[in-house]
Amino acid sequence: MSRVRHYIRQIKNGRLKELLGQLGWIYGFARKHVVFIGIFTLLGMSGTVTSLISSLVSRDLVDIITGQQTGKLLATFAAMIGITLGTSCITQLSGYVSNKISIKIDNEIKSQMFDEILATEWEALTRYHSGDLMMRWNGDASVISSGILNIIPSFINYLFRFASSLFMVLHYDASFAVFALASIPVSVYASRTSLKKLQQSNLSSMNIGSKMSSFNNETFSNIQAVKAFDLLPLYSRRLRELQKEYTQARLKYQRVAVINSFILTIVSLVVSYSAHGWGIYKVWKGDITYGTMTMFLALSASLSGTVDNMISFIPSTINLANSAKRLMGVLDLPKEDYSHKEEVAAFFAEHKEEGVGISVRNVSYAYANGTEVFENVSLDAHPHEVIALVGPSGEGKTTMLRVFLSIIRPQSGIGYICAGAGTPESDAPKLELNASARQLFAYVPQGNTMFSGTIADNMRNVKEDASDEEIIDALKIACAWDFVSRLPEGIHSEIKERGGGFSEGQAQRLSIARAVLRQSPILLLDEATSALDMHTEHQVLQNIMADHYPRTTIVTTHRPSVLHLCKRVYSIHDKQCTLLDKAQIEEMIKGYS
């Protein structure tokens, strides 16, 4: 009764519903390949049929050899060889179909996850470390793709094998079925008691594996800092601590599995030797032939083995469900709204000549932990203008750019894309800021954001059909052509991972060139000139302003030296955004110099 009450509590707590939901999610991928899965199932069933026929032919062969039955020895032997070859062909074909299904489903899951992760709201995605995401994307997806065939198709095959073997045994001598079926209650009980431990230890080891993947990912990404601070001993020790934790979790899972397997093996041995003894007794009495005894022993082993295989679905299903749970946790995160792309494109096409600006009104934003960044902020930026956001580090300049890009959503207030020099209060056409409006932006974030590949590859990431001449023109505007032109391969020179092979200032100029090449009506530069000398910084901004393209440019900076070039300067400080007058700007410039 206590066991019954336990399962009732589990059902009330939603564990069964959760498990069914996870398996249902997996089925969503499997049903797209129902034809191939059906073929795989039929191949498995045909393999069972040939195996049963083989046991009958084997019986006849033994009886012919022992003289207990007359027949054509060569014909029976040839049939045995033919059945063996047929079984081998079925096995190979089944393996091919299995691999084909697994690869297709693996690709589908990973491509869907890739698209969903990219479309997930940035704030929600930051709950997960990039290494953890990689572990889920790569490891858990592979577990599901390889495990789908181990649920319904294999279970049906095992069930069919069990039923057909049992039918054969009952048809020829029902007494042998007793030995085969005697193991079922013990096997079920042993597996049932280990179910919860298997689930907990498996999920624990998966989570620790993700933690270790995150650690490795972060270490390799920051290997320069690790070396600079001489942190090699510390990080080596931390890795070994994680490995130890992972080993303990995996061994805990294996211990439970080994104990369960050992119990099943003991039960199988008892059943097998009991069946052997009973078979010898039946032959001694003359009730059956030697061939019939070998057939019964094979069928009895098939029965008990099939039961064990079906029971082994418990940990396999748990592993599969845990992987589905981890993937669903990422895929269920809130998604960005890209449903207005055509509307935004049409809006820009209509106002391309005059350009578009950006305005925010009464915007407030606070981090998830409740820390307020700014409140009731309003500002405007129009075409052919350079607008500056200044203020101490950490006061919200980068956060404001993320609001413009709709990477984060403010708790209150609203932002607009406005035609020309219009504002939200005017009659000028406008659209609300949303993820679809990013097609109107070019962005140069802080830090090195170049991708591995050639310089031309990096440029064409934002404009696939860009000609070499267009790329060179953009490099000239960003003051990058002077050093690129001296490279042996020019724009076809290789960039290593994270911009390796170039200085910070060179990488910044390449990033600016890439943004300029995009020819977007709104350009955001987030400390994008911080690694440049003042002369180059002035030249880059002057080149951008000299371009006749109706571009709205917004820069964030710690260095007031470029403020003379800006139409308006906003100071973000103490949660407020204040428009500075000329005197305040001059004072800020003097204070910096």
Q: What does the pLDDT look like over 226-241, one tens digit per residue?
A: 666 667 778 788 888 8
pLDDT-flagged residues of the chain (< 50): 1-8, 10-12
Task: Say yes or no: 356 and 305 in one domain.
Answer: no
Q: Residue 125: what pLDDT?
A: 82
Q: Residue 290: what pLDDT?
A: 66
Q: Residue 469: what pLDDT?
A: 92
Whether the CB-CB separation of 137 and 114 falls below 8 Å is answered with yes
Q: Is residue 129 part of a domain?
A: yes
**What is the reported pTM?**
0.70
Strand, coil or helix: 529: coil
Whether the CB-CB separation of 389 and 553 falls below 8 Å is answered with no
Task: Say yes or no: 264 and 148 in one domain.
Answer: yes
Give the long-range contacts of residues 537-546, CB within 8 A, separation 24 or more: 537/561, 537/562, 538/562, 538/565, 539/479, 540/477, 540/478, 540/479, 540/509, 540/512, 541/386, 541/565, 543/476, 543/477, 543/478, 543/479, 544/386, 544/477, 544/516, 545/384, 545/386
Q: What's the burial of 521, exposed, middle or buried (CB within 10 Å: 0-12/13-18/19+)? A: buried
Task: Say yes or no: 208 and 250 in one domain.
Answer: yes
Q: Is residue 427 part of a domain?
A: yes
Return the residue matching tokens 């099943």: 264
Task: Say yes or no: 42 and 164 in one domain.
Answer: yes
Task: Say yes or no: 552 and 518 in one domain.
Answer: yes
Task: Say yes or no: 356 and 384 in one domain.
Answer: yes
Q: Residue 3: what pLDDT?
A: 42
Q: Residue 132: what pLDDT?
A: 79
Give the long-range contacts of residues 245-250, CB within 8 A, separation 24 or more: 245/208, 246/205, 246/208, 246/209, 246/212, 249/201, 249/204, 249/205, 249/208, 250/205
- Looking at the DSSP bridge assignments, the partners of residue 560 are none
Q: Is residue 500 part of a domain?
A: yes
Task: Say yes or no: 355 and 319 in one domain.
Answer: no
The two three-digit tokens of residue 504, written as one number: 């910070």
Task: Say yes or no: 310 and 393 in one domain.
Answer: no
What SS3 string covers 114-181? HHHHHHECHHHHCCCCHHHHHHHHHHHHHHHHHHHHHCHHHHHHHHHHHHHHHHHHHHHCCHHHHHHH
Final residue in a domain of this structure, among 304, 331, 358: 331
Per-residue pLDDT tens digits for 71-127 = 566 777 777 787 778 777 877 887 787 777 778 888 888 888 888 888 888 888 888
Return the residue matching tokens 């709204």: 337
Q: Residue 10: what pLDDT?
A: 46
* Radius of gyration from C-alpha coordinates of the chain: 35
Final residue in a domain of this structure, among 331, 358, 393: 331
Instruction: Give the total number of structural domains in the chain.
Output: 2
Q: Residue 350: what pLDDT?
A: 92
Task: Say yes or no: 198 and 61 in one domain.
Answer: yes
Q: Residue 7: what pLDDT?
A: 41
State which amino acid sits at residue 155: F
Q: Residue 417: what pLDDT?
A: 92
Measured distance CA(79)–CA(6) in Å, rounded:
54
CATH code of 75's domain: 1.20.1560.10
- HSE-up of 260 (CA within 13 Å, CB side)? 25
Q: Is residue 10 part of a domain?
A: no
Measured distance CA(295)–CA(92) in Å, rounded:
25
Indicate the pairing of strand 412-419 with strand 356-366: antiparallel
Measured distance CA(263)–CA(245) in Å, rounded:
28
Q: Is residue 1 part of a domain?
A: no
Q: Is residue 20 part of a domain?
A: no
Q: Residue 358: what pLDDT?
A: 93
Task: Say yes or no: 449 and 409 in one domain.
Answer: yes
Return the residue matching tokens 């990058």: 480
Measured distance CA(321)–CA(131) in Å, rounded:
21
Comparing CA positions, the residue from 291, 307, 300 lying closest to residue 178 is 300
CATH code of 399's domain: 3.40.50.300
Residue 390 φ/ψ region, left for φ over 0, alpha for ψ in the -120 to 50 degree band, beta for the rest: beta
Q: Is residue 15 part of a domain?
A: no
Task: Say yes or no: 326 and 366 in one domain.
Answer: no
Q: Is residue 447 part of a domain?
A: yes
Task: Say yes or no: 496 and 552 in one domain.
Answer: yes
Comparing CA positions, the residue from 475, 448, 440 lying closest to residue 459 is 475
Domain range spanning residue 76? 26-331
Final residue in a domain of this structure, among 331, 353, 383: 331
Nearest 5°: phi and psi at 456? -60, -40
The two three-digit tokens of residue 414, written as one number: 């609203």
Measured distance CA(282)–CA(303) in Å, rounded:
20
